[in-house]
Amino acid sequence: MAEFKHKDIIALRDLSKEEIELLISTAENMREVNSRDIKKVPTLRGKTIINLFYEASTRTRTSFEIAGKRLSADTVNITPSSSSATKGETLADTALNLLAMKPDIIVMRHAVSGSHYFLSKKVSCSIINAGDGAHEHPSQGLLDMLTMKDRFGRLDGLKVAIVGDITHSRVARSDIQGLTKMGSSVYLAGPPTMMPPGAERLGNVTVCGSMKEAIQDADVVMMLRIQQERQGKTLMPNTREYSRYFGLNPQNIKLAKPGALVMHPGPINRGVEMSSFVVDGDQSHILKQVENGVAVRMAMLYHVCGGEMAE
Amino acid sequence: MNLMIKGGRVIDPSQGIDDILDILVDGGRIKEIGKGLAAPSGAEIVDAAGMYVVPGLVDIHVHFRDPGQEYKEDIVSGTTSAVAGGFTTVCCMPNTNPVIDGKAVATYIISKARAEGLCNVFPIGTITQGMQGERMSEMGELKEAGCVAVSDDGKPVKNPELMRRALQYAAGIGIMVVSHSEELELVGEGVMNEGFTSTELGLKGIPRIAEEIAIAREALLSEYTGAPIHICHVSSKGSVRIIRDAKARGVKITCETAPHYFSLTDDAVRGYNTNAKMNPPLREADDVAAIKEGLKDGTIDCIATDHAPHHLDEKDVEFNEAMNGIVGLETALPLSLKLVDEGVLTLQQLVEKMSCKPSALLGLDCGTLKPGSPADITVIDPKKQWTVTEETLNSKSKNSPWLGEVMTGAPACTVVAGKVVFSGR
């Protein structure tokens, strides 16, 4: 079995194929804990985890918190409204103050790409990236891969379509990094205003001229959230037109392989990037993604702590 | 007090000189230049064997942060850094606090530089009052107070009608307008060049066209009014093309680039290196090649540093939060000498772009070693190797992307008005 030697998990770009496989396989084992009646193991007993969320998050923060608690760690949540960020304290100072309280892991979400690398140079504890700007969201990438692996038993050779605002998506970047390493092919589609330059060079990536081309015969269709506040001004006319060309609906889903997985990192804008029919349909694995999220985050917490079972 | 610089390779494009010669300085001015000159008794002798002896370098684009942000730099530390880089004359941009939009601040800078500075310092006034982009500043008074150009550097003049009138008005007064060319709507919240690197790092990009559209506008305004314009810190391939085309049409447009634009690409940003964050941003390999081509064919008239000191607290932060700019006075010469090694420029061209041209552009009394002119001289040791560190940099600020790197070439001696103000690292 491969060893996991990183202190931090900041980007799937920094991990090898073997390390990604190890995290996924540990997550598979962690699921057993989550299915127990008493969903708790003593693995990280006595460890302190700080969830430092500079950006709003319900799903990811809750998922990390539950993951920590199921491993018996003490978890503390700090969000901008209750932190010193509003008082003008720098990120480095906040982190050093938190570090003085001897946490073992800081799980951070931050709006600025790369801020975890900055933080990592300042603090000695482990850093886990819960999303940084438009850079990466490694736990999402891992849970997406775990969800695909559940369905197909493999990642190698899968055709994965990712549709939406690629430019601003950290989910897309982590998926591309992870999936490319695992042997999948990624097909991107979105309005040209939301396709970043050189996207085809990010990995085993094909940039498609239309959504149809991307989802044709796909094993997985990953839809990204369209953020009205971000894209609204200049990147598209409105959500109505967006959904006509880049929304997943009962008609165009038929272009994908029969039984193709439909995924979304959430939160969903029903009727914009996906019609409710598809969100709630048989092919939708969106809630499965959320379920796998807890297991994946347990695996991440476990491995940055050295990967030793207290049991 | 006499000074004799003996036996160096004197390169002075203003007189077509490139020969092993001696230079005799008397009373702060060049007295004589020739072979085998006899040193008057008591003269200070500088042995320049194996060195290049050139007219003192001139940088028409520095930020000395004085008045207002002396924690980053001031006139004393700024000029100390300048002479350590071989510069004998610098022109400082007006984005101080308060800005240089009237006689008081201009006079303060000139008198402080005369009293405490190590080299010649000329202020550049603002184009608009308060750098607000709304009304022209009192350019006549600025010129009388000693400003050698006007610029709203750091901010473009957004209103094209105001820029048109400023060009006309400045031409009437006889003061150069220096344009920071940038279309802010296209810059948006961008923090680095838009390209594959920004895609991979997930950082918001600034497209080249933000610079190019603005330069195209300036070229057209200059062409229409017949008034001269100088473009700051050209960084992209398209900008070089636009300026080349305008020059070919006879437009009175000139421009500068900075050493980082011919030395680095946006790959330097990898690792979220805030010392590689500046405006305009580092571009890509194609752009670097085009900047070199523009220097070679004369499209780019001069090399200026855009020396932009920032405190560690303003750089040791998340990438988006970091201030734009790098210190450049001490690394400019070795980085530019590389262009000579690479065959991009001849030594003569290099001296033209770092001394003669910038001096002529702004009508400064320097950039030459002609007898009778002020004795501003840089003696360059082209082989001197030194490492850029926080300790070796003389600027108050240490925000250089070359920290830890070895540079080849440094001034062995910098002479301002006949006085040795720096004598080597």
List, as one string, the DSSP characters of A293-308.
HHHHHHHHHHHHTTS-
Helix (H) or strand (E) holding B84: helix B75-84
β-partners of residue A163 are: A189, A223
Q: Do B272 and A117 touch (CB under 8 A)?
A: yes
Q: Do A115 and B195 touch (CB under 8 A)?
A: no
A173 to chain B: closest CA residue: B200
Q: What pLDDT is stored for residue A232 in this prediction? A: 59
Amino acid letter, residue A293: G
Q: Which residues of chain A lie closer than 8 angstroms to B322, CB-CB?
A: none
Q: Please indicate if any CB of chain B lies within 8 Å of the CB of A61.
A: no
Pairwise CA distance, residues B281 & B401, whole Å: 13
Pairwise CA distance, residues B142 & B131, whole Å: 14
Q: Do B202 and A117 touch (CB under 8 A)?
A: no
Count the neighbouring beta carbons within 10 Å of the beta carbon of residue A7: 14
Q: Please indicate if any CB of chain A lies within 8 Å of the CB of B314.
A: no
Which value, in Å, is the radius of gyration of the alpha carbons in chain B? 20
Q: Do B319 and A112 touch (CB under 8 A)?
A: yes
* Tens of pLDDT, residues A169-198: 999 999 999 999 999 999 999 999 999 999
CA distance B376 to chain A (A): 44
Q: Which one of B198, B199, B269, B284 would you mutate to disrupt binding with A, by most A Cβ within 10 Å of its Cβ?
A: B199
End-to-end CA distance of chain B: 24
Strand spans (E) along B242-288: 253-257
A194 to chain B: closest CA residue: B199
Count the neighbouring beta carbons within 10 Å of the beta carbon of residue A251: 9
Q: What pLDDT is stored for residue A306 in this prediction? A: 84
CATH architecture designation of domain B55-361? Alpha-Beta Barrel (3.20)
A118 to chain B: closest CA residue: B318
Tell me, which fold does domain A12-136+293-304 have in CATH?
Answer: Rossmann fold (3.40.50)
A31, burial (CB in 10 Å: exposed 0-12, middle 13-18, buried 19+): middle
Cβ neighbours of residue B221 under 8 Å, at least 6 residues apart?
A: B160, B163, B164, B167, B227, B229
A137 to chain B: closest CA residue: B202
3-state secondary structure of B121: strand
Pairwise CA distance, residues B226 & B325, whole Å: 32
Q: Do B271 and A135 touch (CB under 8 A)?
A: no
Residue of A113, A198, A201 lying closest to B319 (CB–CB) = A113
Q: What pLDDT is stored for residue A81 in this prediction? A: 60
Which of A 20-59 lie inside 8 A of B, CB atoms?
Answer: none
Contact A219, A158 (CB under 8 A): yes
Sites in chain A below the pLDDT cut of 70: 1-2, 80-87, 229-232, 308-311
Q: Please indicate if any CB of chain B lies within 8 Å of the CB of A173.
A: yes
Pairwise CA distance, residues B106 & B96, whole Å: 11
Domain A138-290 CATH assignment equals 3.10.20.30? no
Report the CATH number of the B2-52+374-422 domain: 2.30.40.10
Q: Do B318 and A91 touch (CB under 8 A)?
A: yes
Q: What pLDDT is stored for residue A311 in this prediction? A: 41
- The Cα-based distances of A237 to A271, B131, B369 in angstroms read 16, 36, 63
Give the orientation angle of helix B237-248 with respect to helix B285-296, to 10 degrees: 30
Amino acid letter, residue A197: P
- The Cα-based distances of B354 to B15, B59, B61, B132 in angstroms read 16, 7, 11, 31
B315 to chain A: closest CA residue: A118
Domains A12-136+293-304 and A138-290 share a fold: yes
Q: Please indicate if any CB of chain A lies within 8 Å of the CB of B36.
A: no
Give the orientation angle of helix B209-225 with respect to helix B237-248, to 10 degrees: 10
Q: What pLDDT is stored for residue A85 in this prediction? A: 56
Q: Which of B357, B411, B406, B326 is nearest to B88 (CA)?
A: B411
Pairwise CA distance, residues A280 & B333, whole Å: 66
**Which regions of chain B carry the CATH code 3.20.20.140?**
55-361
3-state secondary structure of B105: helix
Sequence length of chain A is 311
Cβ neighbours of residue B425 under 8 Å, at least 6 residues apart?
A: B84, B384, B386, B392, B410
Segments making up each domain of chain A, as ranges = 12-136+293-304, 138-290
Structure tokens at B150: 């006007």
Q: Which of B347, B348, B337 is nearest to B409 (CA)?
A: B337
Structure tokens at A121: 């140079």
Instruction: Quote the DSSP letter at residue B129.
Output: G
Residue of A110, A136, A201 lying closest to B196 (CB–CB) = A201
Q: B287 an active-site residue?
A: no
Q: Do B318 and A136 touch (CB under 8 A)?
A: no
End-to-end CA distance of chain A: 19
- φ, ψ dihedrals at B75, nearest 5°: -65, -35
Report the relative pairing of strands B302-303 and B377-387 from DSSP bridges: unpaired
Q: What pLDDT is stored for residue A227 in this prediction? A: 74
Pairwise CA distance, residues A87 & A81, whole Å: 10
Q: Could you tell me where the DSSP H helices lie in chain A? A: 17-34, 59-70, 91-99, 115-122, 138-152, 170-181, 211-215, 228-231, 239-246, 276-279, 286-304
Q: What pLDDT is stored for residue A307 in this prediction? A: 78
The C-alpha angle with vertex B177 and arms to B167 and B72, in degrees rounded to 5, equals 145
Q: Which residues of chain B lie closer than 8 angstroms to A90, CB-CB?
A: 317
What ipTM does the predicted assembly reach? Answer: 0.93
Contact B256, B231 (CB under 8 A): yes
β-partners of residue A252 are: none
Q: Do B202 and A173 touch (CB under 8 A)?
A: yes
Q: Please indicate if any CB of chain B lies within 8 Å of the CB of A115.
A: yes
Q: Please indicate if any CB of chain B lies within 8 Å of the CB of A134.
A: yes
Say which of B22, B306, B376, B381 is annotated catalytic: B306
Sites in chain B below the pLDDT cut of 50: none
A119 to chain B: closest CA residue: B318
